């Protein structure tokens, strides 16, 4: 990791096995992308992104299959705006995004984009966004029902398998209100994986969680990223989870200002991390 040396002990990050990782082909390329929000009822506008370029001809190179990228930077820098455009839930004012070889621009149709989202992209937000009247199982099954590719039995088997993957096989009939925050976020991750996406987009997925649940969720994401080669792009304000990324991209005033590459992704270890936090706060 290329971050500045700190005067407190962070040696826990170097004690876990190092896993060499091969990345695949580019799956997200961005060319000269800008985003301006017009403020309704006024002549004013906010330029949220300025000529974002993540392409082979730039020092900020495309995101490759299996890569875990963390977006960092100050509040208002444009992280969520960029993530929403990558997820095709918002559109750029100019420029293009190439997702999995398919070019997205302001003229792409809504039907095409919603199909792409359903098939290829999983979303996880800070607030868990589960349907409150549905059980954990039904929440995970829902995107598969909407996609209509699997039969009833296959959907049920897959929902169960995904809830097992996130360690919630004993909670399948619970409503979201009957689950802890960490458990709800696990259901959200299982749901995001239901249609076997190529790309997971995560906006502050641990923002509402305590230290133990933050590590649990980050470890789960790391396992999914390594085992399934799911590309992850995650926004966070928490610098302590930067060690999970392959690459950090810093956005400030709507521009990429720097990037850093981790040679190995390194999970946090709860007891040692808690000890580190105690020393830091002392």
Which residues of the shown chain bind ligand ATP in the complex (CB under 6 A)?
A: 37, 46, 48, 73, 75-81
Non-local (6+) Cβ contacts of 76 within 8 A are none
Choice between 32 and 149, CB closer to ligand ATP: 32
Rounded least distance, CB 39 to ligand ATP, Å: 6
Task: Let me know: does 120 contact 199? Beta carbons within 8 Å.
Answer: yes
**E strands in 110-213:** 121-125, 199-203
Name the residue with tokens 């200002």. 257
Rounded least distance, CB 276 to ligand ATP, Å: 24
Rounded least distance, CB 75 to ligand ATP, Å: 3
Non-local (6+) Cβ contacts of 148 within 8 A are none
Task: Let me know: does 24 contact 65? Beta carbons within 8 Å.
Answer: yes
Nearest 10 degrees: CA dihedral of 90, 92, 96, 97?
A: -30
Choice between 65 and 255, CB closer to ligand ATP: 255
Which pair of structure tokens corresponds to residue 265? Answer: 């992704």
Rounded least distance, CB 46 to ligand ATP, Å: 4
* Rounded Cα gap, residues 5 and 264, in angstroms: 17
Task: Let me know: does 176 contact 130? Beta carbons within 8 Å.
Answer: yes
Choice between 159 and 233, CB closer to ligand ATP: 233
Choice between 78 and 95, CB closer to ligand ATP: 78
Which pair of structure tokens corresponds to residue 271? Answer: 């007891």
Using CA atoms, how far residue 47 sits from 31, 38, 81, in Å, is 17, 9, 11
Rounded least distance, CB 42 to ligand ATP, Å: 11
Choice between 51 and 138, CB closer to ligand ATP: 51
Choice between 37 and 60, CB closer to ligand ATP: 37
* Rounded Cα gap, residues 98 and 52, in angstroms: 13
Choice between 77 and 95, CB closer to ligand ATP: 77
Rounded least distance, CB 51 to ligand ATP, Å: 15
Rounded least distance, CB 89 to ligand ATP, Å: 12
């Amino acid at each position: 990791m290329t971050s500045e040396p700190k005067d407190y002990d962070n040696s826990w990050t170097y004690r876990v096995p190092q896993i060499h990782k091969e990345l695949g082909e580019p799956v997200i390329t961005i060319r000269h992308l800008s985003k301006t929000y017009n403020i309704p009822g006024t002549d004013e506008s906010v330029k949220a992104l300025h000529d974002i370029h993540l392409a082979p001809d730039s020092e900020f190179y495309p995101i490759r299959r299996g890569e875990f990228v963390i977006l960092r930077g100050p509040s208002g820098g444009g992280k969520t705006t960029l993530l929403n455009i990558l997820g095709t839930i918002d559109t750029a004012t100019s420029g293009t995004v190439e997702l999995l070889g398919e070019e997205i621009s302001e003229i792409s149709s809504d039907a095409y984009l919603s199909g792409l989202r359903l098939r290829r992209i999983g979303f996880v937000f800070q607030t868990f966004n589960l349907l409150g009247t549905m059980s954990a199982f039904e929440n995970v099954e829902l995107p598969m029902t909407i996609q209509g590719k699997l039969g009833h039995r296959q959907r049920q088997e897959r929902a169960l398998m995904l809830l097992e993957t996130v360690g919630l096989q004993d909670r399948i009939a619970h409503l979201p209100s009957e689950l802890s925050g960490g458990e709800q976020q696990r259901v959200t991750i299982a749901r995001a994986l239901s249609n076997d996406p190529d790309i997971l987009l995560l906006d502050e997925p641990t923002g509402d969680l305590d230290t133990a649940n933050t590590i649990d969720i980050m470890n789960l994401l790391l396992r999914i990223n390594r085992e399934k080669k799911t590309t992850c792009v995650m926004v966070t304000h928490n610098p302590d989870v930067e060690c999970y990324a392959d690459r950090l991209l810093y956005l400030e005033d709507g521009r990429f200002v720097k990037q850093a590459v981790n040679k190995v992704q390194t999970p946090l270890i709860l007891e040692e991390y808690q000890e580190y936090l105690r020393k830091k706060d002392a």
